[in-house]
Amino acid sequence: MDYLRWIRNNFKDIEPIDDQILHEVITAAKADSATLNELFKALGVLFIVIPFNVYLAVSGLLAYDSLSFWLVMLFTAMIGVGVSLYIEQKIIKRNITQSISKLKLASD
């Protein structure tokens, strides 16, 4: 995601702030949330993807050697990646918003 464009669209009153400072804020927000993002990915796999696929395997609805099983596996993985990306972007946006509000207070 282009966080610099997101900042420019949502914080129109911060035009005087240099792009280099904003890139530093974005980099810091990404670094601060990296561990939390990995935790959400692991929890998503642990509580959503694995139980669903174990259910499919145990119930006998789909066999391991069928194409439909692997398509369902791929689909659940894509859902997990999408949810993980959404949560990651929300966390980074929240961190960026907090950092920008601190920058605005410091410049006033």
Express each pLDDT in 11-29 by its tens digit.
Answer: 877 767 778 888 898 899 8
**pLDDT given at position 18:** 79
Give the C-alpha separation, 77 to 72, whole Å.
8
| 84: pLDDT strictly greater than 90 | no
One-letter amino acid at 87 equals I
Give the C-alpha separation, 54 to 7, whole Å.
42
Give the C-alpha separation, 25 to 32, whole Å.
10
Q: pLDDT by residue (tens digit) across 28-70?
A: 988 988 888 888 888 878 887 788 878 877 887 777 777 887 8
Sequence-ordered alpha helix ranges (H) in 45-66: 50-59
**pLDDT given at position 83:** 83
Q: Where exactly are the structural domains of the chain?
A: 33-107
pTM of the shown model: 0.76
